[in-house]
Structure 1
């Protein structure tokens, strides 16, 4: 088992690494070269860089994951593909479910249509310390079941 992070814009990278270390699970951060870093990587953490492109990181994550892996992403489309592969997928606020992914995709589509028509939309609330604690608890619970 590995944990894959859709790295472009993920607000819970550090929390994921902290929990993964407790379970001795390797973490793979997939991100574009736009986010290149020279920081040292630990044994249980690697970064895979992909070319610029709207879905480059998503395609790479789909190619690298296997059933039983865990992925962290805010992208509903990527989550849908990974659920179909037998990957456990988490958003920073919830666990994706096969039963609700179609609803989430429809919601995303309707939001895109509203933005296209220049309709004002409210953005997400700021991510709080409490949200970070809740994410760590959620990821811990998922890993306890998966292991």
Structure 2
């Protein structure tokens, strides 16, 4: 089991890094050449800056029982299909039961924006998001060790 992070626009890296270190798990953070990420624990892997290059690398590299951190629903769906565990940086765990609705909502929002409409902006990150990320990431780690 490893923790793989879609590092492009991923808040909470320090929480993820601490959880990986405390549980002696490999940590790999993928980002493109336009991001600068430094870790005390784990590896940062730089990929080209092409369209969805980090997303493709994360989805190609994840394996069964890995924990993937991404806020991209498409990547989450691909990784769930590979039997990885997926969580977003706000601490929401993606499952086969909730990912379909999330993908559908993303599609509807894209249609609204394409037609000139407006959709809600993402809310600011809160300390509750940090707490939820830590709690649910530790839950995934502990439940993975039981398998």
Q: TM-score, normalised by structure 1?
A: 0.92
Structure 1 stretches of 4+ moved >6 Å: none
Structure 1 alignment gaps of length 5 or more: none
Q: Which residue in the other structure is 1:9 paired with?
A: 9
CA distance in 1, matches of 2:72, 2:131: 21
Q: CA deviation at 1:32?
A: 0.4
Q: CA deviation at 1:129?
A: 1.3
Q: Does 1:70 align with 2:67?
A: yes
Equivalent pair of 2:73/2:103 in contact (CA under 8 Å):
yes
Equivalent pair of 2:91/2:134 in contact (CA under 8 Å):
no
**SS at 2:34 equivalent:** helix
Q: Which residue in the other structure is 1:81 paired with?
A: 78
Q: CA deviation at 1:61?
A: 1.0
**SS at 1:20 equivalent:** helix
**SS at 2:43 equivalent:** strand
Q: How many residues align?
A: 144
Q: Which residue in the other structure is 1:114 paired with?
A: 112
**SS at 2:94 equivalent:** coil
Q: Does 1:51 align with 2:9?
A: no
Structure 2 alignment gaps of length 5 or more: none
Q: Which residue in the other structure is 2:98 paired with?
A: 100
Q: CA deviation at 1:36?
A: 3.7
Equivalent pair of 1:36/1:49 in contact (CA under 8 Å):
no
CA distance in 1, matches of 2:33, 2:55: 14
Q: Which residue in the other structure is 1:134 paired with?
A: 132
